[in-house]
Structure 1
């Protein structure tokens, strides 16, 4: 994130394309605004250990920081791990707080890529109780080749927003051996389920 300004200055921005920036606090927000960013994404976790490594604070402290950011700009998503089914209630709780702050979209992130369709389904069942389905998205890393299967489960639950990256670029410095986000090319070529019920 330290080179976000240089990246934004070095690319040619296209009409109709959003260029959000990750902003963990007010300092990051100020840098994003100075770079001409029109939308930001805050990123958190429902795990104290991961949150501590990623942004060096507790869950509660990070939520207070996010409130300051959300009060100033339009905010996109929070990314929260899918890896432990027994944490589903915690993910739902943190997600609801971020939604209530004003985040228009909550992107559920399997940051280390160990989610499975079963875990994903359980997580979404909890989330649907507290967040409108149209405000949910998924962010699946493909460490163990489960990203497309998890995305298919998400499609079946009527989720329509998927984060992806060109050729699966990315990763996480705090997740040993984690690969990048699911490849955009794979998502585009994956079969889509036929959904009914007027959706």
Structure 2
């Protein structure tokens, strides 16, 4: 008999896998859910179908994830961490003596080319964040991390905005980057994906430079 999952369990408190085989099943459930998000609305996905497509029992799924939203939380948390690692890696590869335009291009290249962090499924996942306060709080925390990195990058390249504009501009740049990466991920062909990346680079450069220069 399958244990009834705890519907009130915090989304951040899934059960950790202690053995390699368990970790493989956990990863399979996450990968399967992300693939499903690429092909169907997030609110139409249920744990029974996730288990079926992953080839695991519903009991196995509930061992790790007491409800669907916990899977979404884990996917979103992993995605945000990967994104921040890419951002930090690119920023650390520049000293600030180069052109900020080159840094922006490198950042967009890295964030857009890897489907493990920029796929249709990821952006459908992001739209589902409003389903719970915990998911929304996780996104807000990520935004604060991104804002601090954007401000640090501007300062690194000598483009520090006025104090009364700094946070607003960081918010603006973040929203532009979301729109750009979403567009790239949803491009229906490789050629259009390249076009969307080129448009995104021009748009992001202008967003970063603001009144400080032109592209």
TM-score (norm. length: structure 2): 0.23
TM-score (norm. length: structure 1): 0.25
Higher strand share: 1
Q: Which has the larger radius of gyration?
A: 2
Q: Could you say which structure has the greater relative contact order, defined with CA pairs below 8 angstroms and 6 or more residues apart?
A: 2
Higher helix share: 2
